[in-house]
Amino acid sequence: MANVVVVGSQWGDEGKGKIVDWLSSRADVVARFQGGHNAGHTLVIDGTTYKLSLLPSGIVRPGKLSVVGNGVVVDPWALQTEMDRIRKQGVKISPDNLVISETATLILPIHGELDAIRENRADGIKIGTTKRGIGPAYEDKVARRAVRVCDLHDENALAERVKNLLHHHNALRSGLGHDPVDADELTQKLIDVAPSILPFAGPVWHVLDEARLSDKRILFEGAQGAMLDIDHGTYPFVTSSNTIAGQAAAGTGSGPGSLSYVLGITKAYTTRVGEGPFPTELTDEIGQRLGERGHEFGTVTGRQRRCGWFDATMVRQAIITGGIDGIALTKLDVLDGLEELKICVGYKLGDKRLRRFPAGMGPQAAVEPIYETMQGWSDTTKGARTTAELPARAIKYVRRIEELIGAPAAMVSTSPEREDVILMRDPFKA
């Protein structure tokens, strides 16, 4: 069976929730491989809305195994709250349908506090994080001082891990003018929450290997988007993990050969939440219209998204760095009724023309988009499920995007409704 990796090809918020939900109904296993509870997926199933941050999208579907990989950072208290909330909606969660990697790094209260301290610094410089401790937790992981899920098994060893961690954090907090954290108190908090997490802990790499040997379909579910990747995104205005498809292998203990097809979720225009460069951003009435029609507010934070024209140059770069085989073009219906549409086909930087997004902060902020203009359409695309139902100019727009980014559209989404999808190629049969 083919295994599918779903990643965002822009700055996140591309509509992965709906597409992942559509695919998860056809998968046997759904695995998260990076990020934390800073991500948000909204699923609507039989009229019920589920908002997930850390749990894989498969959790709301009976008979699916959900996996949280080692590449994810886990806030045990946030996970406990999310599980309680989803259970109240009638979803059954047990070790039979949820496995959390025993080597996943834990997000502790000190991480969220440090995030907030940094975002509220006196000089006003911000990265635009969700202040949920994601970045500081990844820092501790890389520095080899993190507390991991498996550490919860042994209270004595856990106490030593916490002391070692606070050796760094309390010195940092002191330098920033904040009180130290008591090691015994933090250790006790972890001991108290451990019974909610440990029943789900397991060797994810082994679980997924068994699934492959049993010819199960695995859906690898990414969070955020390619341009928020710690290496390939608009650094430093990025997340703290690799968001491209290669992380699906490293973040779950699966070999690269397990990744059969990479689907890049791609919005028919561009949005961004928070700080950072955005060459095609629209601050006029059109930008406002896109935001209102597209309901562009973050699932997790509620923050309003910045909106702009489709940036083919940026997405083409994401196609290359992410090994994307095909895209799912979402929110095409939001463009209905616009007289003309613009697509960014390159950038101007001084007297130079660029076909890639530059690496440095200065050039990224200074580039100007080079646009190609296309005619819009007056007929509606909303709810279309075949290409025959699309206006000719809408089809032309999709085809032009395919040409510019160098990847075909495997799916086109035409409304928030789950079944309003034009399927051109089934990723599981690729």
- Look at residues 200, 207, 318, 201 and name the one whose alpha carbon lies nearest to residue 252: 207
Catalytic: which of 21, 37, 41, 229?
A: 41
Q: 166 vs 133, 173, 184, 192, 330, CA distance in Å?
A: 15, 10, 11, 19, 45
For residues 146 and 262, what is the distance between their CA atoms, to the nearest angstrom? 31
**In this structure, how many other beta carbons lie within 10 angstroms of the beta carbon of residue 61?**
17
* Joined tokens for residue 27: 């998968």
Catalytic-residue membership of 37: no
* Joined tokens for residue 45: 């199933």
- Does residue 18 sit in helix, strand or coil? helix
Is residue 400 a contact partner of residue 374, using CB atoms and an 8 Å limit? yes
Q: Across the strands, what pairs with 201?
A: 100
* Joined tokens for residue 390: 């699309």
Catalytic-residue membership of 169: no
Write the Ramachandran bin of 306: left for phi over 0, alpha for psi from -120 to 50, otherwise beta: beta
**In this structure, how many other beta carbons lie within 10 angstroms of the beta carbon of residue 304?**
12
**In this structure, how many other beta carbons lie within 10 angstroms of the beta carbon of residue 337?**
13
Count of residues for the chain?
430
Name 334's Cβ contacts closer than 8 Å, sequence gap at least 6.
Answer: 268, 269, 290, 293, 294
For residues 148 and 106, what is the distance between their CA atoms, to the nearest angstrom? 5
**In this structure, how many other beta carbons lie within 10 angstroms of the beta carbon of residue 340?**
9
Supply the residues annotated as catalytic: 13, 41
